[in-house]
Structure 1
């Protein structure tokens, strides 16, 4: 009994102030109330999960917490003190750092320069870099997450996944910047990581809990429940509740996010006719070679979805880009509907009826300051023009029809696409090829990256509709489960070669383990 009494908190001692607290936060954009009185509490030494559909207000809330957005109302408290966060530097001085989903690195600087940027300390003397010290400071952060990246490598030569690890190492420098227990915000940190890298990250998150507080955001609800202590849910810019992670399941969170029970039935189940394998393939690739791949053979029939899987460095992303003329090839031949495909550039690919949705949506898939309408009709100018002249009414009619059909949440067709949620941005990027109307081959590079359950379901529906209309599709999926669920066949790549082909018909799907055995 005595031991139990000693372990009880003394009611006379006040509980420690939360590491971070948000009270009735409000933020308006033109035509949109992004935050509508959000409340949030992050306790000291805990990992708080933040869940919500795309457009629920998560991104706006996180930007407010790191000084990128100034709220129109409400309060932010850090360790019991009311603060006004006017910039990222201001937030860092209060011990708040963030790993951004859309990467914030400077591409022409080295990994080391990015990691210590703004807090160089002994790495700079009299305005001159001390490269040995810079490398040591950066290496200390990379060692924390078990990364083998060369600190002196230029950032633009690294893969997306490696750049993400640099982002994480960069934010960990906040430990040296402040004497207070820091608050680390991780916004979709696992979106491009392989399973081994995810486990490394989760180990780091659990280590961070010992001396910091963590806000963890991911559209993968199983990850949220695995690594977090509590989960707070936003819907429509409002706080709708929170649950202990140990007492919840993904379906519970999904129900809170959208008001209904989640399901994985949105995967392709072969509802339509399977392509006639005896017919001539729409796409025929023979002996295709490039910088990171060689002797790749690939067939895709009209109406077929073929997934390509492989670990980082397998060459699958470069094959996809090469088929769109965005990556140089050194050998091989590509034939589309019996005609040799010109791989000299993306314009030639578009003219031949090839569409491409890139993995890096923000930098390659859209023009942020341009409107939804202009982004949607960017590829097919004649869809909004009569002769050399733009016809606004013609464009408006076409764009409004697709906004309604795809349930794109936007205040207006003239709204800048960069102000939309990730899911709605992706719908606009996909709609670009639907507007074109003459796409025969569609290349999808991680089309659901960073999207929540509801937005992914919409993308899957569009993929099925396109396949049913006869479009041949090559899919680089966000996960093995997605590749298996959506594909009719799966090609496994390893060390730059297409090594194995696996059938994936409805009712006869392979397991992730079946594919992993071939990938390694």
Structure 2
């Protein structure tokens, strides 16, 4: 039974008054105009989708709506009143909450502490936590989204997907901060969730619509159309139009996002174009075992892309990390181009010619305050040095060449990478291994997570180029469709074991259902 204290008490408004309205919002950064007169209307009790390519201005707009960014011009109206949102707390007091794409939890606190942080209420008395009450408060939020996470579990022991569910439970506490219907912003909430968890989330979003307004942001356009009532599209920092979700298809949104006719086929056939099968695989894995996986065998030939698929907890992510020396193993042998490797750590893996693009790009894949140039040359310092010293001209020539070749949108090579859009950040992370020039095996852990259609197509193109140059690639895809579209072969994992290998020849691709049958 839900505590009466947690039930939202909503003061009704006139139906004509928008829950949230943005008028002519403008925001400049050095060399970049992130927002150029954006207009946005969120009606009461609706789910509004927000779509746009990486760099279209979505992130800046959302940050302005939760008080993280001060706009240079324009107005924000909440329930018919103009407001100035000075902080996240200020936005929360106005009933605006956000689930961030990049997680905002405190890792050394429990799930319960994170969920009620800043709104502990009866969970604290005389400066002391009342743990039973805290647990109950958090459990009630977790129950709303059907999660079985232990409220007293430390957040840093949870998986990425579990932490995302805690984020969603946390933002639902905003129901207790205002007498008016809240506005909940969900920024890429499904990026790491499995299909069952996504459906649970969509059920929750539809429940929220009954007493709140929701802004839903996702690069998966089919999801946007599935759960939203309307969709507003941004391009180049401007509002370029909106469509009713009913009757629309992803292609309609894509054309508005890029300003031209897009293709639904972004994979363009098999990634590799090998003329013959090599005598020996580039990567040979035999009986590899670790904490969450056991007896895994895997072969990847030069110029081949092999996808690994499995449900959450199958062990595939840990296998990928183990091949890069970032996860300990207990048994097995790994050979690269005929040489047995001692993967004692990531430094040894890099020296052996192994590259790795992690799923959590901003945490493990880049150094945010460092420049694009420094991030791009981080792995191979010799590429930018003359002897023991950095050669600025050498680095500038090298980096500018890759910026142009990969169409990386950045004001300057010296711009901090954290200032770039997600797609351009990912290009820089991939370029790091291209700069190295001696990569023989590339491990890609969800390389297109959080990227729009255009940025994903660019990543696919880079993957094909690397494969065609002879690089062996292991892909942990963001979806089964992506794994099927990009892979030459697919290894299915279940409960920590490799259970089946599926061929993916051009013209004879398996269906997602074929793989699901082997995954569960």
TM-score under structure 1 length normalisation: 0.97
Whole-angstrom CA distance in 2 between matches of 1:276 and 1:107:
49
Aligned to 2:99: 99
- Contact 1:268/1:487, CA 8 A, preserved across alignment: no
Instruction: Check conservation: 2:284, 2:334, Cα contact below 8 A.
Output: yes
Which consecutive residues of structure 2, in runs of 5 or more, have no partner in the other structure?
A: 1-12
2:244 paired residue number: 244
Deviation at 1:441, TM superposition (A): 0.1
User: Which residue of the partner structure matches residue 191 of structure 2?
Assistant: 191
Is 1:117 the equivalent of 2:95?
A: no
Q: Corresponding residue for 2:400?
A: 400
Cα offset for 1:265?
2.4
Q: Distance in 2 between matches of 1:177 and 1:277?
A: 63
Alignment of 1:203-352 (within 5 A): 203-270=203-270, 272-274=272-274, 276-277=276-277, 279-352=279-352
Q: Distance in 2 between matches of 1:375 and 1:336?
A: 26
Q: State the partner residue of 1:16.
A: 16
The aligned residue for residue 4 of structure 2 is none
CA contact (8 A) 1:142 1:149 kept: yes
Q: Output one character per residue of 1:143-178: Cα deviation in whole Å (capped at 9) or x when no partner.
A: 000000000000011010000000000000001121
Alpha-carbon deviation of 1:111? 0.3
SS of the counterpart of 1:348?
helix
| Structure 1 residue 179, shift from structure 2 partner | 1.0
Instruction: Tell me, yes or no, if structure 1 residue 137 matches structure 2 residue 133.
Output: no
**Cα distance in structure 2, aligned partners of 1:218 and 1:67:** 21
The separation in 1 between residues aligned to 2:246 and 2:153, in whole angstroms, is 41
How far off is 1:15 after superposition? 4.7
Q: Distance in 2 between matches of 1:207 and 1:296?
A: 42
Partner of 1:390: 390
Separation in 2 of the partners of 1:52 and 1:72? Answer: 21
Distance, in Å, in 2 between the alignment partners of 1:341 and 1:14 is 68
Query: Deviation of residue 274 (structure 1)?
Result: 3.2
By how many angstroms is 1:270 displaced? 3.0
Q: Which residue of 2 aligns with 1:503?
A: 503
Q: CA deviation at 1:259?
A: 1.1
Tell me the C-alpha RMSD between the 2 structures. Answer: 1.0
Q: What corresponds to 1:8 in structure 2?
A: none
Q: Is this contact kept in 2: 1:369–1:416, CA < 8 A?
A: yes
Q: Which moved more, 1:14-23 or 1:290-299?
A: 14-23
Deviations 1:356-399 (A, max 9, x none): 00000000000000000000000000010011100000000000
Deviation at 1:266, TM superposition (A): 2.1
Per-residue CA distance 1:265-295 (angstroms, 9 max, x = gap) = 2215137533644510000000100000000
Cα distance in 2 for partners of 1:232, 1:187 equals 14
Q: Retained in 1: the 8 A contact 2:270–2:485?
A: no
3-state DSSP of counterpart to 1:501: strand
Q: In structure 2, the residue corresponding to 1:222 is in which secondary structure?
A: helix
Aligned mates of 2:408, 2:273 — CA distance in 1: 29
Contact 2:278 2:301 survives alignment (8 Å): no
Cα deviation digits, residues 406-457 of structure 1 (max 9, x gap) = 0000000000000000000000000000000000000000000000000000
Could you say what secondary structure the match of 1:247 adopts? coil
Once residues 18 and 501 of structure 2 are traced to their aligned partners in structure 1, the CA distance between those partners, rounded to angstroms, is: 53
Give distance in 1, aligned partners of 2:503 and 2:221: 29
Moved more, 255-264 or 480-489: 255-264
Q: Which residue of 2 aligns with 1:177?
A: 177
Deviation track 1:88-113 (CA, whole Å, cap 9, x = no partner) reads 00000000000000000001110000
Question: 2:494, 2:519 within 8 Å by CA — same for their partners in 1?
Answer: yes
Q: Is the counterpart of residue 51 in structure 1 residue 51 in structure 2?
A: yes
Deviation at 1:260, TM superposition (A): 1.7
Partner-residue secondary structure (3-state), 1:234: strand
User: Residues 275 and 144 from structure 1, CA distance in 2 versus in 1: closer, same or farther, beyond 3 angstroms?
Assistant: farther
Counterpart of 1:362 in structure 2 is 362
Q: Deviations over 1:4-31 (max 9, x none)?
A: xxxxxxxxx9753100000000001110
The residue aligned with 1:464 is 464
Partner of 2:409: 409
The answer for the alignment partner of 1:3 in structure 2 is none
Cα gap change, 1:341/1:437 in structure 2, threshold over 3 Å: closer, same or farther? Answer: same
Identify if the C-alpha distance between structure 1 residues 275 and 172 changes in structure 2 by more than 3 Å, giving closer, same or farther.
farther
With the length of structure 2 as denominator, give the TM-score of the two structures: 0.97
**Structure 1: 5+ residue runs without aligned partners?**
1-12
Show the counterpart of 2:486: 486
Check the 8 A contact 2:446/2:475 in 1, yes or no. Answer: yes
